[in-house]
Structure 1
Amino acid sequence: MIATIEKTNTLEEFLQQAETKPPQEFINGVITPKPMPQGEHSTLQSELVSAVNQVTKANKIAYAFPELRCTINNSSIVPDVAVFVWDKIPRTEKGRIANRFERLPDWSIEILSPDQSLMKVLDKLLFCSENGTNLGWLINPEDETILVVFSDQKVKIFRDDNILPVLDKIELNLTVNDIFNWLNI
């Protein structure tokens, strides 16, 4: 199980530290290291980023980022996949993508690793929902389910041929089976 390291650091002190591999997250004064991605996790993350960007990027609907640090409300998290609606992507004065994202994604996707606590990851998705994220997915490769957190904090488990909810205007029809079939290479 991943250890949680309690620190008295402030968010500002945390953000001044050098990035680590794998990254650490800071939620309500607690620093938690993310687990190092393994085969299933890396495959699912890569396929999800590709699938979302394939249907959203050309028409400037949304963009999916892998492992992007998002900082808000005394917390700094790194979702496995962070999807931002196109016009909400932070930009510099020159119109380029910003390096710092001081907002949470519109859609946050987490992939449960073997040594991760399901409750801690769910707690992170609920934190996102409380702070403006419209949709959260918690992908559990072990039991091949996807727990979805909606903007009103309603939680629902999807299995098998259930079509998964996505953000408005994203034309992506994926079932739970589609997601886990990506692991058969």
Structure 2
Amino acid sequence: MIAISPTKANLSLEAFLALPETKPYGEYIDGHIEQKPMPQGEHSTLQIRLGTTINQSALPQKLAHAFTELRCNINGRSFVSDIGVFTWERIPKTPSGRIANRVDTYPDWMIEILSPEQSANRVIKKIMVCLEAGTQLAWLVDPEDESVLVFKRQQFPEMKSEQDRLPVLEILPRLELSAGEVFSWLSFI
């Protein structure tokens, strides 16, 4: 893995995808590469706990699958969501039924966890592109103020905090989380 700095040169999506993968991941937006910040402790903790919790609820009944750091190519852009959840029938697969390595579609539910040095507006722009493509639900999780900004297609965003229940995909009715519960995972006391 190599690190690259943001570039101003216009590239095609195919040229970007042919480049070696980087750490942290690069995203391809409007002909430019933007590097995601390297996850830190809070981000990493929330990402693994959310992904695990979603999968524990969704996988046994083959309802959905939560993927962490999965690159999705959508409408000429290439994003790496912190968590991308696909309903079972929309999981990108090869003809033999294995998970596809290249994903050329949007997740049904995306979760982005804001890092301290990350621009909220850039992340919201990525969420909006995915919602326009077909994503049903998106969360922007902000560990600093312990809030979750919830986006749904063609609706105003909603701010959730403390004991507010967080909406999930309709096919996951048994998955119940509050914002307070999610942020309690950051405390090891």
> Which bracket does the TM-score occupy, shorter chain normalised?
over 0.9
Gaps (5+ residues) in structure 1? none
Gaps (5+ residues) in structure 2? none
Q: 2:50 aligns with which of 48, 51, 59?
A: 48
Shift of 1:173: 0.6
Q: Secondary structure at the match of 1:80?
A: strand
Partner Cα separation in structure 1 for residue 158 and residue 30 of structure 2: 26
How many residue pairs get aligned? The number is 183
1:178 maps to 2:169? no
Who is 2:96 aligned against? 94
Contact 1:63 1:86 in 2 (8 A): yes
Who is 1:136 aligned against? 138
Q: 1:65 aligns with which of 56, 67, 82?
A: 67
Deviations 1:99-140 (A, max 9, x none): 111101000100000000111111111111111100000000
Partner Cα separation in structure 1 for residue 151 and residue 161 of structure 2: 15
Who is 2:148 aligned against? 146
Partner Cα separation in structure 2 for residue 74 and residue 105 of structure 1: 15
Deviations 1:126-181 (A, max 9, x none): 11111110000000001111001101142111111000000012121100001100
Percent of aligned pairs sharing the same letter: 48
Who is 1:158 aligned against? 160
Instruction: Tell me the amino acid that sits aligned with residue 183 of structure 2.
Output: F
Instruction: Tell me the amino acid that sits aligned with residue 130 of structure 1.
Output: E
Shift of 1:29: 1.1
Q: TM-score, normalised by structure 2?
A: 0.94
